[in-house]
Amino acid sequence: MTYQNPLSKNPSYIMTDDVPGWEQFDFDDVTRVEVITSPKGRKVVNYGTSRVTVSIQDEGRTLKLFYDEP
């Protein structure tokens, strides 16, 4: 499956198809992104986001989250 990468000079990339569960996510309506760590809590909170996409890379060891800021 090809996803758009809004933050890269390369406008799209191929998503890894063999990572279980990636296909269950639909980000079309997402407008807030939060990154939360344990035990410290929220590290990133961004409201008004759009074009949220994810990429699973490195044989499933790396998750990258892309989004447009308001």
pLDDT tens digits for 33-68?
Answer: 999 998 899 999 999 999 888 877 777 788 888 888
pLDDT at 3 over 90: no
Q: What is the model's pLDDT at position 1?
A: 47
Give the global pTM. 0.61
Exposure on the CB side of residue 41, measured as CA atoms within 13 A:
1
Other beta carbons within 10 angstroms of residue 66's beta carbon come to 19
Among candidate residues 18, 15, 41, the one with its CA nearest the CA of residue 27 = 15
Dihedral, 14, 18, 20, 21 alpha carbons, nearest 10: 20
| Residue 30 or 16, more confident | 30
Q: What is the model's pLDDT at position 56?
A: 77
Cβ distance 49 to 70 under 8 Å?
yes
Q: What is the model's pLDDT at position 66?
A: 85
| Number of domains present in the structure of the chain | 1
- Domain extent for 63: 2-68
